[in-house]
Structure 1
Amino acid sequence: MTKKMTISKILNSKGDKPLVMITAYDALFANLFEESADILLVGDSLNTSFAGKDDTLSATLEQMIYHTGAVCSGSPASFVICDMPFGTYTTKKEALKNAVKVFQSTQADAVKIEGGADKADIVKHLTSNGIAVCGHIGLLPQSVRSEGGYKVKGKDEASALSLIEDAKAIEAAGAFCMVIEGVKADVAERVAKSVSIPLVGIGAGAGVDGQVLVFSDMLGLFEKFTPKFVKKYLEGASVVREAVAEYAKEVRSREFPSEKYSY
């Protein structure tokens, strides 16, 4: 079993070794990722990757608690972050109530909150009450409908300065790290240098403090579309199809189960 990552180690990684974060939604894959990943993110992306939804907004707190519990069970040595789903942190009181429920119902190490300076008061309220928070700035998947799509950030100086302001506000509110998504690489690097906590990028270039990918994307299992920033490390969908096709062929020909696989 690998030694569990801690908040202190995450903070100390700044300027040293890049953090490796990957999404996980169940015990099976969490266990497979445990050896290589520093952090497992139970993302609300589960509803786009596995529930066939067009965006993440339909994810519920109950879903996130269920999947976070499964990930924690499958990978007890991993540092696990639970995405707070859309609509669960609109006020400080509601955010704390729901985050406490996550902590009491699972072994999650932290929760993740989308938003910049506009969410700093909520992040501060959580961190002041014993809830470890990972921020999330830049492209915000939970704002996709209000913004009319997934739009890359940091395309001009005003946007760059706004992102820096967001990062500083979330750091001041007590977050121990941040995800920065869908941001021009040069701007993301500026943002990372503006704060003392690690920024984990997704579609934000190599000049940040770590990387995160959705595992079904990087393993080539999700075929609906592939974002520009995703590198496929496995053609997973093809591998699975071939295996299932072979199984089906052997069943139909009565080759399986052979004597070797029979009692």
Structure 2
Amino acid sequence: MRAKDIRAKAGVEPITMLTAYDAPTARLIDEAGIDIALIGDSIGNTRLGYDSTLPVTVDEIASATASVARATEDALVVADMPFLSFGADEADAVEHCGRMLKEADADAIKLECGPHTIDLTRTLTQLGIPVQAHLGLTPQRENETGLFRQGTDDESARRIVDLAREHEAAGAFSLVLEHIPANLAATVTDALSIPTIGIGAGPDCDGQVLVIDEVIGLSERVAPFSKRFGDVSSEMRDAIAAYADAVESGEFPAEEHSHHEPDLDDVY
């Protein structure tokens, strides 16, 4: 899968996208036929123990991206650029984004967007780095905007539509819309030729994305716009408890789990 393949799905076929942070998860996502594996900066509060996405580093995203890429054959691998890896100095931003393709084998990068990322999107795409834009709720700006629904008034809604058009013109191959009113997401989708991918943005986007931990039931909480489709946490809890019981009772390891070397019986 390439960025141009995702672009071609706009209005034609629903796009599926999930986060992935490691090789085993990426392999399962790929086998299920998911179109896009996103190494989200949500790795910070799902896997790395941070309270938010803000502490996530370029090195952490690069390492996770490489592990996902090694396990993926068909899905488009998209690296989510973390807080302050872009937006200050364009040369540094290009280097950080380019590293994801050169060193971590990503197929594209994602930027949490605003007016400051229009020119950067144009530069990156001209250099051959596919860009997925992201508007609406942008968690990297949580200290400014809070983690609340965006685009709920006329002015902010128009700003999202305008920014969406500007990022499309700058070369973005797709656009994530997070936690905005469904009717606004429908308006943005109609206004663009590139596909929109919603998360808490209603059913009229060209695709949907969720955090894998919420989908499989690994997280303690689920966002109000998300849904649990499984209960991996309970399965893990039961398996871990069964292991502890087996060790404490002496049931494990059994004879079939051990190897004996006859020549070593008389070592002493």
Normalised-by-shorter TM-score class: over 0.9
What per-residue deviation string (whole Å, max 9, x for no partner) do you get for residues 156-213 of structure 1?
Answer: 2222211110110110110000111111111111111111001111111111011111
TM-score when scaled to structure 2? 0.92
Aligned partner of 1:112 among 110, 113, 116: 110
Does the alignment pair 1:7 with 2:16?
no
2:194 alignment partner, SS class: coil
Aligned partner of 1:233 among 229, 233, 250: 229
Partner of 1:126: 124
Query: Is the contact between residue 21 and residue 39 of structure 1 (CA under 8 Å) also seen in structure 2?
Result: yes
Aligned partner of 1:49 among 42, 46, 49: 46
Question: How many residues are aligned here?
Answer: 257
Task: Give, in angstroms, the shift of residue 137 of structure 1.
Answer: 0.5
| Aligned-partner Cα distance in 2 for 1:93–1:169 | 21
1:22 alignment partner, SS class: strand
| Aligned-partner Cα distance in 2 for 1:259–1:232 | 40
Q: Which amino acid aligns with 2:91?
A: K
| Aligned-partner Cα distance in 2 for 1:260–1:210 | 49
Q: Which amino acid aligns with 1:19?
A: I
Does the alignment pair 1:160 with 2:157?
yes
What per-residue deviation string (whole Å, max 9, x for no partner) do you get for residues 133-160 of structure 1?
Answer: 000110001000122x201012122222
| Aligned-partner Cα distance in 1 for 2:246–2:129 | 52
Q: Which structure has the larger Rg?
A: 2
Does the alignment pair 1:16 with 2:16?
no
2:31 alignment partner, SS class: coil
Runs of 4+ in 1 over 4 A off after TM superposition: none
Aligned partner of 1:94 among 92, 95, 98: 92
Query: Is the contact between residue 176 and residue 198 of structure 1 (CA under 8 Å) also seen in structure 2?
Result: yes
Query: Is the contact between residue 3 and residue 108 of structure 2 (CA under 8 Å) also seen in structure 1?
Result: no
| Aligned-partner Cα distance in 2 for 1:104–1:12 | 25
| Aligned-partner Cα distance in 1 for 2:125–2:90 | 11
| Greater mean alpha carbon deviation, residues 63-72 or residues 74-83 | 74-83
Task: Give, in angstroms, the shift of residue 108 of structure 1.
Answer: 0.5
Query: Is the contact between residue 117 and residue 170 of structure 1 (CA under 8 Å) also seen in structure 2?
Result: no
| Aligned-partner Cα distance in 2 for 1:102–1:8 | 18
TM-score when scaled to structure 1? 0.94
Alignment RMSD, CA only?
1.2
What per-residue deviation string (whole Å, max 9, x for no partner) do you get for residues 195-248 of structure 1?
Answer: 10011111111110111111011111111x321011101122111111111111
Partner of 1:259: 255
Task: Give, in angstroms, the shift of residue 125 of structure 1.
Answer: 1.1
| Aligned-partner Cα distance in 1 for 2:186–2:74 | 30
